[in-house]
Amino acid sequence: MSQNGQRDLDVLCFGEAIVDFFPDRPGVPLADVATFHRHLGGAPANVAVGLARLGARAGLLTLVGADEFGRFIRAELAREGVDVSGVGTHRTARTGVTFVAVGPAGERSFTFYRHPSADMLVAPVDVDTRLLARSRVFHFGSSTLAREPARSATLAALADAGEAGCLISCDPNWRPHLWADPSEAPALIRQTLAECDVVKISDDEIVPLFGTTDGEAAARAMRELGVQVAIVSLGARGCYYDSPGGSGYVAGEKVDVVDTTGAGDGFMAGLWAALLPQLDGRSLSGAELQIALRYANRVGSLTCTKFGATTALPRKHEVLR
């Protein structure tokens, strides 16, 4: 894996930016929660914020509504140092809202209000090829593949990113409820993964996407699609990787878990923050990739220590402590 050229954005993230409402304490059913706290959310937005906090130059390509929540999202991203020149405003659709229920052990579930929301209506015309030309890495998920016009926009952005010479990164973060027919998802997601250089999937996604419970087999299947670095995240146990430089397990870190929301997004931010300085036109060694994955595991673990997907995303000095 290599990448050349002078570009002023390290990673351009594509996809949903929404507002998450979290209860003021864990273990309470949403019906019994009296007080919620508002947070920036959406997996690609979380990755962009995580990258910015780790010192990378990140941007986001999405749509928000012409409403107060849309203004909140744009302001929060800008405050975090994320390039918002690709954050457009949909003329009629509202910004997406999600209520997050957090269990006593940090497990979470979601209640979505997106019927559809602005981010789900991004169209091919909204894909800014100038932003792609400025970016070293294009990162996306699978939520925008769930329906049109966002599906066509995702495929167009993927093709344009390849033509622009970007490295392609994906964390599917599959949400079956977003699909009118979830059975369509595995084949389409695998089709897009075949265009990717780096892919991370979680261990609870390997059965629906690859038909196996074996993380090693799922990683091999991704490599057979053409993925250069295939990663299966294993929660607190760390991750497994398969790459041209070798394969193996990288242990996770123990933390006091408060909320697991955004842990995978923190992992992706940490991974690219560690990889970006090494993309100097040569392939990564297995040892270098393991160092990057240990860093990614640490960032993902720290993300679990507070409420909210972005709240606990660490800054560089907090990771190195």
Active-site positions?
265
Neighbours of 17 (CB within 10 A): 33
- Helix segments in the chain, DSSP class H: 43-53, 68-80, 129-133, 150-163, 185-193, 206-210, 215-225, 263-275, 286-302, 316-319
Amino acid at position 110, single letter? F
CA torsion sign for 119, 125, 128, 129 is: positive
Of the chain, the end-to-end C-alpha distance in Å amounts to: 29
Residue showing tokens 């990683």: 219
Name 36's bridge partners. 23
Instruction: Kindly state the tokens that stand for 155.
Output: 């495929």
Task: Find all residues with CB under 8 Å of 220, minimum gap 6, and list them.
Answer: 230, 242
What CA–CA distance (Å, rounded) separates 272 from 270? 6
What CA–CA distance (Å, rounded) separates 122 from 55? 28
What CA–CA distance (Å, rounded) separates 232 from 217? 10
Specify the DSSP element, H or E, that contains 196. Answer: none
- Between the CA of residue 30 and those of 60, 111, 265, what are the distances in Å? 30, 9, 24
